[in-house]
Copies of this chain bind each other. A is one copy, B any other.
Amino acid sequence: MKVEGKHYRSIWLAADGWAAEIIDQTRLPHEFVIERLETLEDAARAIETMQVRGAPLIGATAAYGLCLALRTDASDDALEAADARLRRTRPTAVNLMWALDEMLGVIRNIPRADRVAAAYRRAGEICDEDVETCRAIGQNGLSLIEEVAANKPGKTVNILTHCNAGWIATVDWGTALAPIYMAHDKGIAVHVWADETRPRNQGAALTAWELNSHGVPHAIIADNAGGHLMQHGKVDLVITGTDRTAANGDVCNKIGTYLKALAARDNNVPFYVALPHTTIDWSIMDGVRDIPIEERDAREVTHMRGRTASGAMETIEISSPGSGAANPAFDVTPARLVSGLITERGVCAASHEGLLGLYPERRDDES
């Protein structure tokens, strides 16, 4: 999407055709810095340090990381080592493993001399496929926004989102934000309530930055505010992303999503979740019970990083120094609270039957 009027993806092949270039997301929203990844180590570190984040983008970066490794040494041993190095970067990211499997699939059984070209080709395809997937999610979600807009002609459609499921978490478009960008680009008056998303503030930092850069009207709100806004008719629709969707439609997403789903239900506000099929975990039939929740560093809660008035980046302690903190990073919203799932194949009920309707090949798997 656009940054100061110019179109960007979150990762792209440099003009010289060698390096991959990324937007350093650790410096957003305060600085827009493009980083050149020239080696396997550059790519691995970009993932580890969260210069790139978001499952699809992590996968794409790993794919290019393998390309960069092969340029130096296209032997089987080098390939194994590079693959192992990249798999260690974010051990729980399903997309990372998927992208590396894809890459190995096309590289492993061909002559060394052909490997570099094949790798770049497949890495490029992985990126393009992700853009297409997100575009399709956007199109399918767009019709939901158009429905709301049709019911309040001349008025702005207010959409609440939590965390960042925007274009910089994918290669382009995003998941939850894709329908919003499409509605905005089409001239529908949309306004986004961006939950700040404590403790890491992805909403205030990344979603707000994306929306501001592309020109979509929005306001940041404390995570506490959404219920009140819904109670007073100021939210027409909630759309979030998801990190993992159980086969029964339970949705694991950034901590706090469940609270917004409860508020949406209490106020008859539709609550949709946008996802590519790659986030569906067909092996889990009870997401609330069986999806493990990562507990992260307490310092994410007790400390905060930002920019001082003088422009320097500074970390401050924001809580009582003697106190500890608990920091579960995700929660699971039960399917009963989800109005529907927006996928690249269409919108379905948040249920096993709903998902099987869109992915009938899975029905065959099970029978």
Which residues of A approach B to under 8 Å, CB–CB?
Answer: 28-30, 193-194, 196-199, 201, 204-206, 208-209, 211-213, 218-229, 231, 254-256, 258-260, 262-263, 266, 288, 293, 301-309, 314-328, 330-332
Q: Are A256 and B224 in contact (CB under 8 A)?
A: yes
Q: Are A223 and B220 in contact (CB under 8 A)?
A: no
Residues of B within 8 A of A263 (CB): 258-259, 262
The smallest beta-carbon distance between A30 and chain B, in angstroms, is 7
- With A301-B204, A326-B219 already in contact, the answer to whether A321 and B29 are too (CB < 8 A) is yes
Q: Are B319 and A196 in contact (CB under 8 A)?
A: yes
Residues of B within 8 A of A318 (CB): 201, 204-205, 304-306
Report copies per complex: 2
Residues of B within 8 A of A226 (CB): 259
- With A208-B319, A302-B204, A319-B220 already in contact, the answer to whether A225 and B307 are too (CB < 8 A) is no
Q: Tell which of B201, B316, B321 touches A319, judged by Cβ atoms closer than 8 Å.
A: B201
Q: How far is the CA of A314 from the CA of B208 in the complex (A)?
A: 23
Residues of B within 8 A of A301 (CB): 196, 204, 220-222
- With A198-B198, A301-B196 already in contact, the answer to whether A317 and B306 are too (CB < 8 A) is yes
Residues of B within 8 A of A302 (CB): 204, 220
Q: Tell which of B30, B306, B328 touches A229, judged by Cβ atoms closer than 8 Å.
A: B328
Q: Are A323 and B262 in contact (CB under 8 A)?
A: no
Q: Tell which of B229, B231, B258 touches A228, judged by Cβ atoms closer than 8 Å.
A: B258
- With A194-B323, A259-B259 already in contact, the answer to whether A331 and B228 are too (CB < 8 A) is yes
Q: Which B residue's beta carbon lies closest to that of A221?
A: B326
Q: Are A325 and B219 in contact (CB under 8 A)?
A: yes
Q: Are B228 and A323 in contact (CB under 8 A)?
A: no
Q: Are A204 and B320 in contact (CB under 8 A)?
A: yes
Q: How far is the CA of A30 from the CA of B303 in the complex (A)?
A: 13
Q: How far is the CA of A266 from the CA of B293 in the complex (A)?
A: 20
Q: List 28 A-B contacts (CB under 8 A).
A: A29-B319, A29-B321, A194-B323, A196-B319, A199-B222, A204-B319, A204-B320, A208-B320, A219-B326, A220-B302, A220-B323, A220-B326, A221-B327, A223-B224, A224-B255, A225-B326, A225-B328, A227-B256, A228-B255, A228-B258, A228-B330, A228-B331, A258-B263, A304-B318, A308-B314, A309-B315, A314-B316, A316-B316
